[in-house]
Amino acid sequence: DTAVSQTPKYLVTQMGNDKSIKCEQNLGHDTMYWYKQDSKKFLKIMFSYNNKELIINETVPNRFSPKSPDKAHLNLHINSLELGDSAVYFCASSLGGEQYFGPGTRLTVT
């Protein structure tokens, strides 16, 4: 009965490819996020959606495009993958400021 789920858990792909990561939350929260965690464990917010509407877009390259078909889902599509995109990507939802994180997707670009 996972609260925030992401697929896939691991993603290995070559430079230049396009890939998507899917996220779903069953908590009924209105706000969802995408974070990027680098190899030093630094956590950086990328996007935030509130009730399907984009409210935060943190200087992320245009190659990254989030999509929220409904308030329970927030997907991340990445075009023309680069080596520097290798990281762990976390989806999260929030209520009252408390964040609920998914298990993460480890993206490796070769």
Partner 1 sequence: GNSVTQMEGPVTLSEEAFLTINCTYTATGYPSLFWYVQYPGEGLQLLLKATKADDKGSNKGFEATYRKETTSFHLEKGSVQVSDSAVYFCALSPINTNAGKSTFGDGTTLTVKP
What is the number of alpha carbons within 13 Å of residue 67 lying toward its C-beta?
9
CA-to-CA separations, 58 to 15, 17, 35, 45, 46, in angstroms, rounded? 23, 23, 10, 7, 5
Q: Which stretch binds partner 1 (CB under 8 A): 20-28, 45-53, 64-72, 78-86?
A: 45-53
Distances (CA, A) of 77 to 64, 67, 74, 108: 6, 8, 10, 15
Residues 6+ apart with CB under 8 A from 8: 21, 105
38 binds partner 1 per the rule CB under 8 A? no
* Total binding residues toward partner 1, as defined by CB under 8 A: 25
Choose between 44 and 63: whose C-beta lies nearer to partner 1: 44
- Enumerate residues 59-88 that contact partner 1 by CB under 8 A: none
Q: Which is nearer to partner 1, 1 or 98 (CB)?
A: 98
| Interface with partner 1 (CB under 8 A), residue from 19, 56, 73, 108 | 56
List contacts with partner 1 (CB under 8 A): 4, 30-31, 33, 40-43, 45, 48, 50, 55-56, 90, 92, 94, 96-104
